[in-house]
Structure 1
Amino acid sequence: MTTSDLLAHSVGLTPEPYSQSYATELHKRLSSEQFDPNNRVFQTHTETNTTTPNEMNQIYERLLAGELLSPSSTSIALDILSRQHLNRRIPRYLPKSVQVLHKTGSLADHLNDAGIIRIDDHNTLIVSIFSRGHASTEAGEDDIAHIANRAVQIILNQSSHTIV
């Protein structure tokens, strides 16, 4: 199943080949958040195509350790993560000297951000924050940003190491 198929299902459409009318309807439903709450992307059981924060942390830990990809592919993946432009979550309240390599995710009231926070040469934090049910997107992003900032402050008050 493709990402396009999952998006179509999430708003109650049957996936079909691209056409202007289909794309317009999909965009309209996504923009107005006409989501199907019974769709599998909104289910809480783990048999669907989902991951947990702990699993995301393990992926990032293995990526940093060079256990997932070739060295050149690892460098490319980390570079892509470092260029994330949606920075209102994990990086929002962090000092500019802190490097954040992350991937955000959003669907309906679900707001997520997961990644690697390189605090300095001796401290790296891997964090995954998955949330839902915020009063607004802005409030959810602010909560994620505050959690990440607090975690970094705790690390800065401890010895040098990687914490997952």
Structure 2
Amino acid sequence: MQSLSQTGSSEKLKDAIQAKLATVEGEFAIAFKDLQTGQTLFINEKDNFHAASTMKTPVMIEVFKQARAGKFKLSDSIVVKNEFKSIVDGSPFGLDISDDSADDMYKKIGKKMTIYDLTYQMIIVSSNLATNILIDLVEAKKANATMRTLGANDIQVLRGVEDSKAFKLGMNNTVTAYDLMTIFEKLAQKTVVSKEDSEGMIKILLDQKFREKIPAKLPKEVKVAHKTGSITGVQNDSGIVYLPDGRKYVVVLLSRKLKDEKKGVEVLAEVSRMLYDSLQH
């Protein structure tokens, strides 16, 4: 059980975080769990937010799960293509290179890449092209079903990226801070698919190139295994923070309706630092 002083200090921390978030126009959700003490901090943790690229972690989990089940090997190769089918009516669409953070991937169209390398690009530079190729391989609905087995009951992995017909109909991938916390906690405990697979996925997440949210204001020696997401008005980050002394915690930062995205990113980085500071006593 938590002592009263702990409960009191976590309430104080929550108030301070809410005050910090209130300085920026937008809506936020936070989920935090100290994996040593079990202490949590939640703000709007069950609200559904647009997933943006945070849904790529569930896709990676499904890739590793199907590889473990023998459907393919991570070392198997797939031809890189840029034609996908809308979940609305099966009509074809392609991705726009200018909307993709991983533009190097487009030089690979028509060539082969391993499933592992596609997964790596999907996570570390958030390649939309790699994501859609992998969703074609493993199926969004299977990734969704796997989330349910992990206790993430509200995540919706419906489709690949830039399916504009689906977007117009509001058929979007959604997450809650609580569900992302749940899957990252299980990854940290190395119980996702297998110990070896969990370690393999964490290794990829540790190579994340977009570091302007959770890790931005943390000391250099703190390691973060995380996956970001952003679209207009939305800035998300979710992952495991490893302290040099061996302690670890999970933090999920979600936002929407941001009028000023730069300020939104800044405030999320500050909240991440506040959570880190709360453990330095």
Q: 1:28 to 1:63 in 2, by over 3 A?
A: closer
Residue 68 of structure 1 is matched in structure 2 by 192
Query: In the alignment, which of 96, 101, 108 is matched to residue 27 of structure 1?
Result: 96
Q: Is the 8 A contact 1:114 1:127 kept in 2?
A: yes
Within-5 A mapping of 1:2-151? 16-17=91-92, 22-23=93-94, 26-27=95-96, 39-41=170-172, 49-151=173-275
SS in 1 for 2:216: coil
CA distance in 2, matches of 1:80, 1:28: 23
CA distance in 1, matches of 2:211, 2:272: 12
CA distance in 2, matches of 1:139, 1:38: 30
* Same amino acid, percent of matched pairs: 25
Q: Is the 8 A contact 1:119 1:152 kept in 2?
A: no
CA distance in 2, matches of 1:5, 1:142: 35
Residue 15 of structure 2 is matched in structure 1 by none
Gaps of at least 5 residues in structure 1 are 42-48, 158-164
Distance apart, 1:97 and its partner CA: 0.9
Q: 1:131 to 1:16 in 2, by over 3 A?
A: same
Q: 1:15 to 1:28 in 2, by over 3 A?
A: farther
Distance apart, 1:123 and its partner CA: 2.3
Q: Is the 8 A contact 2:235 2:264 kept in 1?
A: yes
Distance apart, 1:135 and its partner CA: 2.6
Q: Deviations over 1:4-34 (max 9, x none)?
A: 869x68xxx97633xxxx53xx528958xxx
CA distance in 1, matches of 2:224, 2:98: 32
SS in 2 for 1:115: strand
Q: 1:28 to 1:126 in 2, by over 3 A?
A: closer
Q: Deviations over 1:41-93 (max 9, x none)?
A: 2xxxxxxx422111111111111212212122111100011000000111111
CA distance in 1, matches of 2:180, 2:231: 17
**RMSD between aligned alpha carbons?**
3.0
Give the TM-score, by structure 1 length.
0.70
CA distance in 2, matches of 1:101, 1:84: 7
Q: Is the 8 A contact 1:101 1:115 kept in 2?
A: yes
Greater relative contact order: 1 or 2 (C-alpha under 8 angstroms, separation 6 or more)? 2
Distance apart, 1:137 and its partner CA: 2.5
CA distance in 2, matches of 1:5, 1:123: 42
Q: 1:120 to 1:133 in 2, by over 3 A?
A: same
CA distance in 2, matches of 1:39, 1:15: 17
Distance apart, 1:40 and its partner CA: 2.7
Residue correspondences, number: 136
